[in-house]
Structure 1
Amino acid sequence: MPRNITLILTNYFVGIAIRLWLFFIDYNTIFMNRVEISTPLNSWRRVVEANYISKISNSPNPYESDVIYEPPLYHMFYMVLSNLFGEQIYLMFIIADILTSYCLCVAGKKYLETLFKKEISNIDDYLPDAVNFIIKEQEIESVDVYIVAAYMLNPYIIFNCVGYTTTVFQNLYLGLFFVGIVKKNVFLASISLAAAISQSFYPILLLAPLFVTFNDKRFNATLVTTLTLIISGLILIISSFLNPKWSYLNHSLKFILSAPDFTPNIGLFWYFFIEMFEHFRTLFIYSFQLNVIALYVIPLTLRFRQDPVLLTTSLLGIITIFKSYPSLGEVGFVLAVLPFWKHLQFYMQQGLLTSVSFFMVTLLAPTVWHLWLYSGSANANFYFGATLAFATAQIFMLTDLLFAYIKREYIIKYGCVKECDGQEAVLLLE
C-alpha cells in the first residue's frame, strides 16, 4: 500500500476514534454547553427542542418561540436525520466530517495540480532563479495527507463534531463548493453555495469567487451567479410552504443581521452591543454588518480574481472573524484549508505567533469564562479580551497568507535577486 494512502487512512482512523471516544465518555454534553462551540444558530439542542415542539399538536410551529434560527427546510432535514439515526445520531456528525475532509482532499489536490500545470506552461517566462520557487510534484502528492490531518485531527473540528452543531453541515456545503470551483462544476458549485447561503446568509460573499471562476469563454458568469440566487430563492419558497406565516424569516435572516441575542461567543458583536447605549444600536448594527458583508469583498476580488480558491479562503476568513455568531467549527474549517498553500510556508512569517496565540486563547477563554460567571473574580472584559485576541490571531493568520502569496507571486515573476545601483544589495543590521 502506498505510503500516502497509509497515512491518510491512519489520520481518518485516529480522527474517528477520538470522536467516538469523546462521544462514549459523554463529553459531548460539555462541548454542547460551551459558548465557543455552540451558538443560537448552530445548536443541536435547539434542533431537538424544535423537533419536540413540532410534535405537540397545540403548538406545531417552533418559530413561534425563540428556539431555532434556521429555515424550515433545514429543520425538516434535521428531523429526518434524527429519525433515521435515532440514538446513533453521533454517526451522522462523524460521517459529515469524513465527507467534508474528502471534499477538501479532492479540491486541494486538483487545485495544486492546476496551479502546477499553469506554472510549468509559463516556465519560459520566468527568470532562471525563479524556477526554483515553483510548485514541486512532491508537494502535490502529499497535500491530501496534510488536508486530512488538518481536518480530522483539528481540535476545533473535533469539538464542533462532538458538540453536536449544525456547523458540520455548513462545512460540508463549503467543502462541496471548493470542489465545484476547482473542477468548474457549475451545478455542484451553485447548489452547495445556495445551501450555505440559505443556512447562514454570510456565504453570500462567495458569489464573488463563483463569478470569477466561471467568467471565461466556456461559461457565463452572470448566469451561474443568477442560478445560485434562484436556487437560494427556491429554498426560501419551499420553506414558506412549510411555514406559511413566513415567521421563520424573523428567526433566520433577521436574527443573523440584527443580532438580538447577546450571549457571549468568540465573536466581537456581543460585547459592543451589551455596552453601548440603545439609541446607537442601529448605527453600530449597520457598521458591523457592512464591515463583514461589503467592505472587503470588492478589493479582495479585484486583487485575487485570478485565484478563486484563495479568494474563497480569504472571504471565509473574513466571515469567521466578523460575523455575528461565529463558532470554533467555522474557524477550524479555515485552518483545515491552509494546507492548500503548503508551498507558501517558506514565505509566511507569522506562523509561530498565530499558532501560539490560537493555543493560548483556546486555553484562556474557558478559564476566564469560569472566573467571570462561576468564581466571580473576573468580569466581561476578561472574556472579551480573550475573544479579541482570538480575532487578532485570525487576522494575523489571514494577512500572513495573503502577503505570502503576493511575495511568491513577485519572486516567480521578477526573481529573488536584489540589486542597488547595479550591485547586489546586502541587508545589514546595526
Structure 2
Amino acid sequence: MATFGSLVVLRLLLAFSPIPNYLYDNQQLTSPLTSYTRLKEGVFLLQNGFDPYAGQLFRHSPIQLALFSTVMPPNKYVLHAFWTLLDAATAWNLANIWKKRSGTTDWRRETIIQASYLLNPYLLFTSLALSTSTLDNALCVYAISLAASGKRAPALFALALLTQSSLYSVLLLPPIVLLLCTGPASRLKTPIAPSIRISDVGRTVFTFVTYMLVLMGISTLVAGNLGWMKETWGATLTVPDLTPNVGLWWYFFTEMFDHFRSFFLMVFTALVTIAMIPLTIKFQHDPLYATYLLVGNISLFKSYPTMADPGLFLSMISIFPELWPYLRHPLPTVMWHMYAATLLPLFNNLWLGHGTGNSNFFYAATLVFGVANGAAFLDSTWAGLIAPYGKPKQGYTLLQI
C-alpha cells in the first residue's frame, strides 16, 4: 500500500510540474478524438450557445462534453488531480483483476501490476497531456474488473459508456459476455470451455444493447441533434481528419487517391474487426485472455490511436505471469519499443519543430512502432496457444490447426 501511495504521489508531482505544458498538443499522446485542446474548444462552443459538432473539429463524445462542461471545472490543477485519480483507480483495478483470476492475495504481485501501469511511460505522458485516452483506459479496465467480479449490469454499463467515446471497444463485448458467464479463472493450460447457457448470453447482450440505446438518447439530448454520431463514431470509421498520430492510417489516406478511399477504408476496418470472432472462439475457455488480446489488436489497428492504447496492452501482460515463460521474443519486442520511443519524438520534432524533415520521417517511426506493437500482440497470442502443451522440445515444432 505504501508503494502504491508513493507512485500516486510521484505521478501527482509530475502533473503539477511544468512538463505537461509541452505535451497538450503532442501528436503521439493525443489524437483528434482525445485532444484536451479540442475538448476545451468544444466546451467553450457549447457554453456560448454554438453546436460543437458543426465545425467538424470537435470529435469527443457528448457524454464527455456534458461531464467537462458541468461537473469538472476548467482548471488544470483540478483536471490533473482527476487524471491522477483515474490512473490510480486503473492500476488498482488491474490488481483486482489479477486477484479475481488467481483467487489469491499477494501484495508483492499487486505492487508489480500497479507499478506496470503507473510507471509505464506511454501511459504516464499521455495522462500528463490530459488526453481522454486515459479516461477510456480507465473505463476499459473498470469494465473488465467488474466483469471479472461477476457484476453484470455495472460491467455492461461501463462498456457501453466506453463505446460512446471509443467505438472499437464494442468488439470487447463477446469475450466480456463469456467472462461474465464463466468467470476469470485461468484455464489456458486446461483449454476446456465451461458450459454456457444461451439464455444467459442473450440476457447479457440485451442488457448491453439497452444501455447503449439509453446513452445514445442522452448523447442526442446533450448535442441537440444526431450530428454527433457522424463526428465521433463516423470519424472513427471514415477518418476525415488526417492529423498525424502514431497509427497506421493517417499517412496512408493522405496519399490515397479518392476513388480508392472507400475500398481501403473497408480493408483497414476489417483489420480491426476481423480478429474478434477467431480470438473469442479460440480462447473461449479463458475469455479474460481473449479480452486482453482484443485490447492489443484494437490498439494496433485503430484509426486514431495514442501511446496510451498499446501502453494499456503492455501493462496488462502483468496480469498473466503464468504465460511469461512461453513468450518467444520478449527482449527484441522491448528493444523495438525502445527504438520506436526514441524515433517518434525525434522525427516529429525534425518535421514539425525544426522543419528539417518531412512526414515520411515520422511515418517511418510509426511503422517501427507498429512492428513493435505487432510483435507484442503475436508473441502474447503464441504464448496463449502454446501454454497447454508446454515448450516444444529442441528440434520439434508444434503446429496448431
Match runs of 1:20-419 below 5 Å: 20-56=12-48, 59-83=49-73, 87-113=77-103, 142-215=108-181, 216-217=196-197, 220-293=200-273, 295-411=274-390
TM value normalised by structure 2:
0.90
Contact 2:101 2:148 in 1 (8 A): yes
After TM superposition, give the deviation of residue 341 of structure 1 in Å: 1.3
Contact kept? 1:71, 1:236, Cα under 8 Å? no
Task: Give the match's secondary structure for 1:33.
Answer: coil
Shift of 1:41: 0.5
Shift of 1:306: 0.8
Moved more, 22-31 or 297-306: 22-31
- 1:198: Cα distance to partner? 1.3
Partner SS, residue 125 of structure 2: helix
Cα gap change, 1:83/1:315 in structure 2, threshold over 3 Å: closer, same or farther? same
Q: Is the 8 A contact 2:16 2:80 kept in 1?
A: no
Which residue number in structure 2 is paired with residue 129 of structure 1? none
1:98 Cα deviation after fit: 0.8
Give the structure-1-normalised TM-score. Answer: 0.84
What CA deviation, in whole Å up to 9, does each residue of 1:207-240 have, x standing for no partner? 1102322442597112101211220111111111
CA distance in structure 1 between the aligned counterparts of 2:395 and 2:254, rounded to whole angstroms: 53
Is the contact made by 1:205 and 1:297 (CA closer than 8 Å) also made in structure 2? yes
Moved over 6 A (4+): none
Instruction: Name the aligned partner's letter for residue 150 of structure 2.
Output: K
Answer yes or no: is the 8 Å Cα contact 2:178–2:287 preserved in 1: yes
Deviates most, 156-165 or 69-78: 69-78
1:210, 1:225 within 8 Å by CA — same for their partners in 2? Answer: no
1:145-169 deviation per Cα after TM superposition (whole angstroms, max 9, x unaligned) = 2110101111111111110111121
Aligned residues: 382
Distance change in 2, residues 1:185/1:347 (3 Å): same
Distance 1:72 1:22, change over 3 A: same
- Rounded to whole Å, the distance in 1 between the matches of 2:201 and 2:159 is 15
**Per-residue CA distance 1:234-264 (angstroms, 9 max, x = gap):** 1111111222321211211111111011111
After superposition, the Cα gap between the structure-2 partners of 1:71 and 1:206, relative to the gap in structure 1 and judged at 3 Å, is same
* Shift in alpha-carbon separation, 1:417–1:267, aligned structure 2, 3 A: closer
Residue 325 of structure 1 aligns to which amino acid in structure 2? Y
Which residue does 2:3 correspond to in 1? Answer: 10
Percent identity between matched residues is 26
Letter in 2 for 1:222: G
CA contact (8 A) 1:214 1:220 kept: no
Q: Where does the alignment leave 5 or more consecutive residues of structure 1 unmatched?
A: 114-136, 419-424
Deviation by residue 1:368-388 (Cα, 9 ceiling, x = unmatched) = 112223334332222111111
**What is the SS of the residue equivalent to 1:280?**
helix
CA distances 1:269-325 after superposition (whole Å, capped 9, x unpaired) = 0011011111111111111112212x1111111110111111111111011110000
Matched-pair contact (CA < 8 Å) for 1:265–1:326: yes
After TM superposition, give the deviation of residue 350 of structure 1 in Å: 1.3
Q: Residues of 2 paired with 1:12 and 1:152: CA distance? A: 11
Taking a change above 3 Å as real, the CA distance of residues 86 and 339 of structure 1, as seen in their structure-2 partners, is closer
Question: Retained in 1: the 8 A contact 2:8–2:88?
Answer: no
C-alpha contact (below 8 Å) 1:31/1:37 kept by paired residues? yes
Residues 88 and 275 of structure 1: CA distance in aligned 2, closer, same or farther (over 3 Å):
same
Distance 1:193 1:37 in 2: 23
Q: Distance in 1 between matches of 2:4 and 2:64?
A: 31
Opposite residue 97 of structure 1, the aligned amino acid is: D
Query: Closer, same or farther in 2 for the Cα pair 1:55/1:84, shift >3 Å?
Result: closer
Q: Give 1:265's aligned amino acid.
A: N
Measure the CA separation in 2 of the matches of 1:408 and 1:251. Answer: 43
Distance 2:251 2:293 in 1: 25
Deviation at residue 65 of structure 1 after TM alignment = 1.8
Distance across 2 between alignment mates of 1:301 and 1:183: 20
**CA apart distance, 1:30:** 1.3
Q: Are the equivalent residues in 2 in contact too, given 1:15–1:153 (CA < 8 A)? A: no
Q: Distance in 2 between the 1:80 and 1:12 partners?
A: 30
Alpha-carbon deviations, 1:154-209, whole Å to 9, x = none? 11111111101111211111111111222222112211111111111101111110
Distance, in Å, in 1 between the alignment partners of 2:238 and 2:392 is 52
Larger Rg belongs to: 1
